[in-house]
Amino acid sequence: MRSARTILLGAALLGAVAGSPAAQGPGAVPTDNRERLLAPAPARTKILFEMRGMLEALEGVLDALARGDRVAAAEAARHAGVAHAVDAAPQMQRVLPAAFVEAGLETHRAFDALATFLERPGDERGALAELAALTGRCVACHAVWRLDEAR
């Protein structure tokens, strides 16, 4: 069985050449051939809430870095760490494919790793490289899956 990472990477590369928003010309109607996941409304609401939390954390990290405040940047990253993962909950694991749950958890682990990286003194380009790798995870997963409400 291919690992979740291989699947995500392959799909991200495919998305980059075929269906990614950046690859669509202006005015083109985008095609959506992502895999459709179904989750009961409360689970879907929780996951999307968690997604917005990760986006907020990213904004917090970037804003703090722009002010040169690594401590605040680390704190913002920690807010999206594993301790804040709803997709680790057993009820999520029942409704979502294992590869999806694992990719979500890996992303939370990457936020923790970023926080640890930022807690130590280091160069700004290193922090940007960490951020680029982290946001690559968001892009890869979004290229593969969408999440609809189970009826």
x-or-dash pattern for ligand HEC, window 21-50, by CB under 6 A? ---------------------------x--
Judged on CB neighbours under 10 Å (0-12, 13-18, 19+), 55 is: exposed
Judged on CB neighbours under 10 Å (0-12, 13-18, 19+), 100 is: buried
58 lines the binding site for ligand HEC (CB under 6 A): yes
x-or-dash pattern for ligand HEC, window 122-141, by CB under 6 A? ------------x--xx--x
- Residues contacting 130, CB < 8 A, separation 6+: 113, 114, 117
Q: Which is nearer to ligand HEC, 70 or 77 (CB)?
A: 77
Taking the C-alpha atoms of residue 50 and residue 100, their distance in angstroms, rounded to an integer, is 14
Q: Which is nearer to ligand HEC, 47 or 121 (CB)?
A: 47
Closest approach of Cβ 135 to ligand HEC, in Å?
Answer: 6
Q: Which is nearer to ligand HEC, 46 or 121 (CB)?
A: 46
